[in-house]
Every structure is written in structure tokens, then in C-alpha cells.
Amino acid sequence: MSWLKEFKEFINRGNVVDLAVAVVLAAAFGAVVTSFVDDILMQIIAALGGQPDFSALTIDIGDGQIRYGAFLTALISFLIIAWAVFLVVKAINRMQTMRMRGETPVEEEPAPTPEQVLLAEIRDLLAAQQGGAPPVI
């Protein structure tokens, strides 16, 4: 088998395609969340704090700077993404639980009725009188 054919089989597997779709969706979701954080949420927080942008928040140490404003922006972005992922996972778990409740369990064979027990005994007695073993059902 050629390596090109093996590669095609590998790519056409469901798991690889699902993973590729997940990566693309995650990138798009990340862009949406980043825009929400940078363009909306951080602007509201910065307006309440009196600063137009958190990136201007720094501490000067000698010739260097500690840019804690950029860190705050990244931290808020992380917390929002983590919250969104938590909500998605929670919704998926809830749907799986609801789906499992809706499934019917495998039914066991019902216990034989008294009539069936009596008929089986009659069958066994007739078979014993004729000298044969009763058929197993």
C-alpha cells in the first residue's frame, strides 16, 4: 500500500475529520470571544476605571516595564473562554443525560404465566409416558 493511499485513508477517518472541524470552530470561537472581550467588555471595564484601555496600565522598574494591564486583559479573556466552555460542556452533558433517560432498557423475558407452566408440565408428563425426553424450548 502506497503512503499516499494510507494518508488518504487516515484523513478520511471520522476522527480526523471531526478533529479538523473542531479546530476550525475553536479558532472561530476564539476570535469571537477575543473580539467580545477586547471591543466590548474591556471597554466597559476601562470606562468604569477611567482608563481608555488596560494596555496602558504599567509599572516602571528602571529601564523596564511590567505591563499588568495586558495581563489583566488576557486573564479576563481566559476566564470568559473558560466560562463559555463550561456552559457548552454542561449543556452537552445535560443532553446526554436526557437522551439516556429516554432510552428503554433491555427487556427481560417475562416470567411464564401459570397456564404456560401447566402446559409445560403436561408436555413433560406426556413425553415421559412415551419414553422420550421433553423438548427444550
H/E stretch holding 87 = helix 68-102
Q: Which residue has the higher pLDDT, 130 or 136?
A: 130
45-69 pLDDT tens trace: 778 877 766 778 889 999 999 999 8
Q: Is 112 in contact with 120 (CB distance < 8 Å)? A: yes
Query: What's the whole-model pTM score?
Result: 0.48
The predicted structure's pLDDT at residue 56: 80
Average pLDDT, stretch 117-124? 88
Please determine, for residue 136, whether its predicted confidence score (pLDDT) is greater than 70: no
- Return the exposure string of 75-91: e unless at least 16 CB atoms fall within 10 Å of the residue's CB, then b: ebbeeebeeeeeeeeee
Q: Which domains does the chain have, with CATH numbers?
A: 3-129 (1.10.1200.120)
The rounded mean pLDDT for the chain is 81
Matching residue, cell 456552559: 87
69-108 pLDDT tens trace: 888 878 887 888 788 778 888 888 888 888 888 765 567 7
